[in-house]
Structures are given as structure tokens and as C-alpha cells.
Chain A
Amino acid sequence: DAKTTQPPSMDCAEGRAANLPCNHSTISGNEYVYWYRQIHSQGPQYIIHGLKNNETNEMASLIITEDRKSSTLILPHATLRDTAVYYCIVRSTSGTYKYIFGTGTRLKVLA
């Protein structure tokens, strides 16, 4: 069972920031939050991950709440090429190391 909850779909205007929320209220202290995206019929693309602190890279920012029960992926200036399904995943640092994918959020960037 997926340990994350995401809205099924979102729209965002081109050039604006896209804020994608994720609820992971049962997250454990040793579990990372990962974000991937999948453009139709392609393999998922890694975006960013974090444990406790907020993270930023060239693609996005990840904001994790202090209690770690939710997070937000921010695409600062969305483009049409950012249209994809975005997956929020929690992953343990021990055990089977597997990702548990939910159904994700389908983001549509509008011109």
C-alpha cells in the first residue's frame, strides 16, 4: 500500500510556480521523501529527495514540514514540458529499500 496521498490532478499556468502537495502522515524517522515524474510512456525521472531539511536543485525545491507529515514539491517556473505525472514516495533506509508508488498527481501546464 502506498504510504503517500496526492491529489489526482492539478493545472498550472506556464511561467508560474507549480506547488504539488504530498501527505505522508505515517512516515518514520528513517524514511526519505522522494519525488519522481513520468512523462507519458517514458521511465520515471528522478527530481529530488530529502529526509528532514528542505532541499533545492536545478529542477525543483522540496519543502518538508517540521513534523515531516507532509511535503511540497515546487517547480519555480513551470513550462509545457513539465506536464507529467508526479510521484511522491517514501523510502526506508533499511529493509527492502523498495519504492512504493501511488498513483501520483497528473500536472498539466497550460499555455
Chain B
Amino acid sequence: DGGITQSPKYLFRKEGQNVTLSCEQNLNHDAMYWYRQDPGQGLRLIYYSQIVNDFQKGDIAEGYSVSREKKESFPLTVTSAQKNPTAFYLCASSIGASGGASQYFGPGTRLTVL
């Protein structure tokens, strides 16, 4: 089955620790995205990548970092500089980055910082 996987589903970390969230896709999509969702809110874009070895900041990139060394993988690191890291994190991919290319989402990782 083709799709997007995110692991783990739930993640707990102590304040001040960096944590890396995994996102893998086997859809052969060029573009990948990371979003953050807070309770009762819509999604906000953190970072996106249109092609391997290239990525751009979204609306709320501060305190986050990404890499795109392989087409199928787009890990997100939540650093200690992120003031309010507790949230639901969603990864998505699309065949391209044009306006007509639908994004497909993974199941999400719920991060709780204690």
C-alpha cells in the first residue's frame, strides 16, 4: 500500500530536549510538508520541500529544523528553542508543488513536552 507514515503516534519529551519526528512516503512524491495543529485550530505550515536537498520555511519555522536527503523522507526536529512544542504534527506530500496538486497527509504525531 502506498502512503505516508509518521512515527511514533505519541511522543513525550522533557523540556529542553530536541526531538525528531519521522515522516516517510512511498508515493514517489516530490513535495513534502510539515504542519502543526493546536487544539481547535486549523493547520499551520512549518516547512516544506519541493525537491530533494531543498526546503523553505513556512509560516512558523522558528524553533524547528528539517532535512531532505532522500525523496521519501522529510524528518522534522523540534528544538529546545521552540517555546510551545506541545502540539499535533502532520506531514504531507504531493506529486508536485503546483496549485492543482493535492496534498496527502500522514496520521500525525502528538508531541507532549513535560
Q: Do A and B bind each other?
A: yes
Name A93's contact: one of B4, B99, B105, B107 (CB within 8 Å).
Answer: B99
Contact with A along B20-45 (1 / 0, CB 8 A): 00000000000101010000111111
Picked from B31, B97, B108, the residue with its CB within 8 Å of the CB of A43 is B108
Closest to B96 in A: A97
When the two chains form their complex, are residues A101 and B90 in contact, meaning their CB atoms are under 8 A apart? Answer: no
Residue of A nearest to B4 (CB): A43
User: Are A93 and B98 in contact, with the CB atoms below 8 A?
Assistant: yes
Cβ–Cβ contact A99 & B41, under 8 A: no
Count of interface residues, chain A, beta-carbon cutoff 8 Å: 27
Q: How far is the CB of B26 from chain A (nearest CB, A)?
A: 16
Count of residues in B whose CB is under 8 Å from the partner chain: 31
A46 B102 Cβ-Cβ under 8 A: yes
Contact residue among B43, B44, B97 (Cβ-Cβ distance under 8 Å from A44): B43
B5 → A minimal CB distance (Å): 11
B64 lies within 8 A of chain A by Cβ? no
Using known A-B contacts A41-B110, A43-B107, A44-B90, determine if residue A97 contacts B99 with beta carbons closer than 8 Å. yes
> Within the assembled complex, what's the spacing in Å between the Cα atoms of A45 and B106?
9
Q: Are A32 and B99 in contact (CB under 8 A)?
A: yes
| A residues lining the B interface (CB < 8 Å) | 2, 30-32, 34, 36, 41-46, 49, 51, 87, 91-94, 96-99, 101-104
Q: What is the interface of chain B, defined by CB distance below 8 A to chain A?
A: 4, 31, 33, 35, 40-45, 48, 50, 56, 58-59, 88, 90, 92, 97-108, 110
Q: List 30 A-B contacts (CB under 8 A).
A: A2-B42, A31-B99, A32-B99, A32-B100, A34-B102, A36-B105, A41-B88, A41-B108, A42-B107, A42-B108, A43-B106, A45-B105, A46-B102, A46-B103, A51-B100, A93-B98, A94-B99, A96-B56, A97-B31, A97-B48, A97-B50, A97-B97, A97-B99, A98-B33, A98-B45, A98-B48, A99-B43, A99-B45, A101-B42, A104-B42
